[in-house]
Amino acid sequence: APVISRLQYEAPAYAIDQVTLEFDLDPERTRVKSRMQVRRMPGAAPTAPLLLDGEDITLQSLLLDGKPYVYAQTDGGIRLDKLPETFALEIVTACSPRGNTRLSGLYMSGDAFFTQCEAEGFRRITYWPDRPDVMSRFTVVLRADKSIYPVLLSNGNLRSQRPLDDGRLEAVWEDPFPKPSYLFALVAARLVCREQRIRSRAGREHLLQVYVREGDLDKTDHAMQSLMASVAWDEQRFGLSLDLDRFMIVAVSDFNMGAMENKGLNIFNTKYVLANPATATDADYQHIESVVGHEYFHNWTGNRITCRDWFQLSLKEGLTVFRDQEFSQDLAAQSGGESARAVKRIEDVRTLRAVQFPEDAGPMAHPVRPDSYVAIDNFYTPTVYEKGAEVVRMMQTLVGRAGFAKGMQLYFSRHDGQAVTCDDFLAAMADANPGSALDTHRQQFGLWYAQAGTPRLRAQGRFDAASRTYTLTLTQACQPTPGQGEKQAQVVPVRMGLVGRDGAALAFRAGDRTGRGPEALLVLTQPEQSFVLHEVDADPIPSLLRGFSAPVILDDGLGDADRLILLAHDTDPFNRWEAAQRLALSRLLPAVCEGDLKVDAAYLDALRAVLRDPALDPAFKELVLTLPSEGYIAEQLGEIDPPRIHQTHQAMRLALAQQLQADWEQLWHTLAPNRGYSPDFADAGRRGLRNLALTHLCLLGDAQWQGRAYQRVKDADNMTDRFDALAALVGSRAQLAEAALQRFAAQFAHEPLVMDKWFALQAGAPGAEIEAIRALMRHADFSLRNPNRARSVISTFCQGNPGAFHRADGAGYAFWAEQVRALDAINPQVAARLARAMDRWRKLAPPYAQSAEPVMRELAAHPGLSADTREILGKALA
């Protein structure tokens, strides 16, 4: 498959101003008639051909201005030559939704029709210039058997609906906004919906709808509440109102990703819609809120202003992740106060470090705005999404919240209705904030889009009592990444404060034009730069990169004693948590390397103090008491021995369970709920900490606590408590685990999303054997065709259970290769994601790397492999 390069971009030669699509929906053979109004773009050569993409569809007829027209076949579609300046084009094609197991284009989930067009699915429906910079007005006519598909939906407004004489239903939808093909959607299904009418701040009435299968209506309240909150938040925070009369969310159980922001018709994985207290955990509630927000926010950042080409994907994804993170922080703060904001931030950083840092250090490292790809679906990555969001966040840090809002306004006034680039966004932000650090360093700031890799910062401080100055020297460097040997210094905003040895915040003055205060924003732009802080009264401990103000790896050079002070006293909650993580790492890493785990009294006392501090939020305590993940530990090491890391991690958890037993017991009793279930921040935080206590108590192997956990699996009144108890039993390899699992499965056999959890829990269990994974795959409810279910077993084992997956005999790798091949034949997108489980194989210690390599090479040599999976394996083996 060809490599597509960013610099090859050429503007489209033709615009399609209007299109009418007629669908005669049939599972085996759906007929699509497309009638387009085409116009040559000003400036395009009169000889320019019209290139239409098409994949897995059959062309039945093609008429230009009503007459058959000769076309040429190309690699991925057709080409029309010798065209008039404007013309009408009519193309009739057929496709087979039932045979579409890739879940891209028009496909069936159960007995219903759905579409997924991002990134390149529309070409699997009809011939079209399937690129985001061709924006058209769509009218859509749907016809389908009314008895099977009573609900017919597409983007925009329903113009008419009528029964036809042949037992079919016909619906006509019209989208008032021009849009790229990737935002097209249709649904034909038997569904029910929850409706809500709202009036916006601007006074306009809207109808909100959440469509689900019959029987799931009682699980739609939270999604609807989240949608209403999203509409209100975007108006309030950015002045962006809903621009449609009707906004629909439809849930589907077969879906490659989380959700899709099709204009006015968002299609969601059921996992991110359905929730009630009996079936969904607190984490599920939280994810639903943020994904509903994310897709809704795309209506402006993505749909009204879209991407010029797919290299600009982060233009919409990075910005929209930033927006959904801010939304969730604001909502959490409403019920949990300011510390809830910090908890959210810590969780987001934890995700970034768990998924994006390894990507940036591995064979798939790429800039936030990639330079090339083979399969664009492989570039829906943590770098484009999460690091992209950090880049937007740094802009906000550099220009302030109000400056950022001004930048957004300028961005919309300049580009509404256009398909633009990441540079356009940066230019709007900088232009709206003249004289700001972002404006001054705008060119260099652009390196965040262009350079891959995580910069490493080193800090060294020197206090001079005589002059009352503290000189902080920061250096930055970034390791080479594939295709980028030399790196330039980037713009790194470092929010910082100083803490005295007594724990009190120390005031200082960071420059001539700033006042004395407890915090400053330093802007590092050079490879090495010294900042002199004035009026410092005592030798301080620097608290750097507060709130994680830049996505970098920081070596602050601090020792244990300083970290213990920061953990106990820093006014910045992020850095308090960070101190705890580093204290844990400085005990875990030597133990992994030398096998001698020391869990000392000073560290335990510090953790105990956090647990006992009545002023601290339970959710924050839970984060502080949660060790760095095995994956994060691995990233700190030159050579990875996953089973060894796992054993050390387990040993440390056991030590915390034993040494803090009295505190865990106390927490269990004091955090008992005094009212019914609510997923709000405060209650979820109490549950989280209480269940962490139960997890540790079960680890002790104590029959009494394991019995309590079993009892909770039986009678908890919500899924968070029930599932956490089950996980505590499985995680501690309790005897009661098997009975609890059986009981749970019997109770939730008819709830697919709950069964996904059940499958995943076992696939991720400590010591899971491959035969146990195969047994799960023989379960009557297992299917490779359903991405959620396939991921719950196979991805959880291969990517989420390093201690069991990496085996000296290489059996885990052979299993992985077998599953990648099997999945690739069904759904390359899902297979390519699983293929990434071996991204970091070169870092594995002997004998793991040695047994992985031949397996990977054999898989890569398989002739039938998709371009998606081939691209991933090719990079891993390069």
Terminal C-alpha separation, the chain: 17
Rounded distance between C-alpha atoms, residue 401 and residue 393, angstroms: 10
Beta bridge partners of 109: 112
CB of 183 to ligand HT7, least distance (A): 9
CB of 839 to Zn ion, least distance (A): 22
Q: Which residues bind Zn ion (CB under 5 A)?
A: 317, 320
Indicate the residue type of 280. A
Q: Is 260 in the site for ligand HT7 (CB under 6 A)?
A: yes
- Between vectors from CA 493 to CA 491 and to CA 496, what angle results, nearest 5°? 150
Return the one option of ligand HT7, Zn ion, none that residue 119 interacts with (CB less than 5 to 8 A, by type): ligand HT7
CB of 414 to ligand HT7, least distance (A): 23
- Give the one residue of 53, 254, 284, 317 binding ligand HT7; rule: CB under 6 A: 317
CB of 262 to Zn ion, least distance (A): 12
Chain centre distance of CA 840: 20
Phi then psi for residue 751, to 5 deg, are: -120, 95
- Residue list 372-391, contact with ligand HT7 (CB under 6 A): 377, 380
Instruction: Please name the residue that has the structure tokens 């030590």.
Output: 655
C-alpha separations of 210 from 173, 194, 784 in Å: 18, 5, 28
CB of 315 to ligand HT7, least distance (A): 12
User: Of 292 and 491, which has the nearer Cβ to ligand HT7?
Assistant: 292
Three-state SS at 30? strand
- Give the one residue of 30, 34, 109, 116 binding ligand HT7; rule: CB under 6 A: 116
- Segment near ligand HT7 (CB under 6 A), from 165-173, 291-299, 761-769, 779-787? 291-299
User: Of 320 and 648, which has the nearer Cβ to Zn ion?
Assistant: 320
CB of 6 to Zn ion, least distance (A): 20
E strands, 751-794, where? none
C-alpha separations of 644 from 243, 314, 650 in Å: 55, 37, 10
User: Of 317 and 663, which has the nearer Cβ to Zn ion?
Assistant: 317
- Segment near ligand HT7 (CB under 6 A), from 111-119, 341-349, 524-532, 721-729? 111-119
Q: Is 216 in the site for ligand HT7 (CB under 6 A)?
A: no
C-alpha separations of 34 from 58, 59, 151, 220, 704 in Å: 13, 11, 22, 35, 68
Rounded distance between C-alpha atoms, residue 848 and residue 312, angstroms: 37
Q: Is 9 in the site for ligand HT7 (CB under 6 A)?
A: no
Q: Say if residue 208 is exposed, middle or buried (CB neighbours under 10 Å; 0-12, 13-18, 19+).
A: buried
CB of 695 to ligand HT7, least distance (A): 32
Return the one option of Zn ion, ligand HT7, none that residue 256 interacts with (CB less than 5 to 8 A, by type): ligand HT7
- Segment near ligand HT7 (CB under 6 A), from 252-260, 506-514, 820-828, 861-869? 252-260
Strand 205-212 and strand 246-252: the pairing is parallel
Q: Is 234 in the site for ligand HT7 (CB under 6 A)?
A: no
Instruction: Please name the residue that has the structure tokens 């016909």.
Output: 170
Question: Can 295 be counted among the known catalytic residues?
Answer: yes
- Segment near ligand HT7 (CB under 6 A), from 259-267, 366-374, 421-429, 696-704? 259-267
- Segment near ligand HT7 (CB under 6 A), from 35-43, 254-262, 706-714, 782-790? 254-262
| 104 DSSP assignment | S
Return the one option of ligand HT7, Zn ion, none that residue 380 interacts with (CB less than 5 to 8 A, by type): ligand HT7
- Between vectors from CA 800 to CA 325 and to CA 108, what angle results, nearest 5°? 75
Catalytic residue among 170, 295, 317, 630: 295
CB of 310 to ligand HT7, least distance (A): 10
Rounded distance between C-alpha atoms, residue 546 and residue 571, angstroms: 10
Say if residues 307 and 119 touch (Cβ distance below 8 Å).
no
User: Of 230 and 829, which has the nearer Cβ to ligand HT7?
Assistant: 829
Number of residues forming the site for ligand HT7 (CB under 6 A): 15
E strands, 645-798, where? none
Rounded distance between C-alpha atoms, residue 825 and residue 439, angstroms: 49
Largest Cα–Cα separation, the chain: 94
- Residue list 135-174, contact with ligand HT7 (CB under 6 A): none
- Residue list 119-138, contact with ligand HT7 (CB under 6 A): 119
Interacting residues with ligand HT7 (CB under 6 A): 116, 118-119, 256-257, 259-261, 294-295, 298, 317, 377, 380, 829
Catalytic residue IDs: 295
